[in-house]
Amino acid sequence: MILVTGGTGTVGREMLPVLERLLPGEKIHLLRRPGADIRLPGLGLSSEERAELQRQVRVIIHCAAEIRFNLPLDEVRETNLDGTRRMLEFAHGCPRLDRFAHVSTLYIAGRREGWVREEPIANTEGYFNTYTHSKHEAEALVLAEKKLPVSIHRLSSVIGGGGHVEQVLRLIPFSSEIPILPGKPEVPVDLVSAEWTGRALALLVARHFEVGAIRHICAGPELAPTFGELLDVAFAGGGRRPRLVSASKFEWALKAVSERTTGWRAMAGLATFLPHLSVSQPFDPGVTGELLRREGLVPAHGRELMAATLAAMV
């Protein structure tokens, strides 16, 4: 049996049918509320239900996460950190388990400049939001596991399915009251489609699982447009193009704006994600990128994804 958390999310919905094709005959069980809750002791299951699942489970794919960026850290930790801890505890009771795939994010690098590679990340520079903070803590928990067959799968920015990238694109036009955005024009913006990401994750778990591996599911710098190029696309139809400033200056400006202004909420929404684009963090596809290319799974250029998404939003 394959046990999946977060299977109804944007990536999970794309992954599940691919898993069914790659592993025919393997039962897939979605762990979801109201029947279960990874925030609760024992996953909210009765001892009988839990024991029966543990007896059958061979593969765990842990995708579930609280992805809202503006929640208090203690609140987001309930799902992203404590939920991961409980999934690991559950896994220890699965005698047939031969793989535990933990889905993380490449943005756990936080405020740190430089390449993000397929290796453990030491972050001493802090984070831009509580989501990435809690996901880094969860990843550290998984990497410290010595007895389970674990691997890490870090996702890039997923576009499609109404996720945070689309939300940011909708907010940008409403930032005219403060005509600035955090970011540097030369910073690469790594974008991957939800469909491609789901296929890649399914393939890596089903056919290329490696205990202890850190996998990057991303486009890489060669297929990542710069932030400046994406703004060219976003404002090709006109409009007042914002000036790019440092994250600290943007944060100062946000504090200076009254909550009574109509654009304040839009600006606050942008502040939870866009500051990542003020630090240069090229994502290295590494060994995983080569593996996926050999399988014929090549991501589209981020510029094409951005243009298609904007066109669909008109």
Structural domain contains residue 151 = yes
In the block, which residue shows the tokens 């942008």?
Answer: 270
Structural domain contains residue 163 = no
Structural domain contains residue 24 = yes
The length of the chain in residues reads: 314
Structural domain contains residue 9 = yes
CATH number at residue 195: 3.40.50.720
CA distances from 75 to 80, 137, 169, 175, 265 (A): 9, 14, 26, 28, 21
Tokens of 57: 């489970």
- Higher-confidence residue: 138 or 123? 138
Average pLDDT, the chain: 89
Structural domain contains residue 54 = yes
Whole-angstrom distance, CA of residue 191 vs CA of residue 189 = 6
Tally: H helices and E strands in the chain = 12, 10
Structural domain contains residue 82 = yes
pLDDT, tens only, 44-86: 999 999 999 999 999 999 999 998 888 999 999 999 999 999 9
Tokens of 267: 């600006």
In the block, which residue shows the tokens 């907010």?
Answer: 171
- Give me the domain span that covers residue 99: 2-158+190-221+282-300
CA distances from 23 to 18, 59, 240 (A): 8, 11, 51
Lowest mean pLDDT among 62-71, 146-155, 181-190, 262-271: 262-271
What pLDDT is recorded for position 139? 97
Query: Of 99, 302, 76, whose CA–CA distance to 190 is shortest?
Result: 302
Structural domain contains residue 164 = no
CA distances from 248 to 6, 38, 228, 279 (A): 34, 36, 19, 11
Number of domains present in the structure of the chain = 1
Structural domain contains residue 247 = no
What pLDDT is recorded for position 259? 59
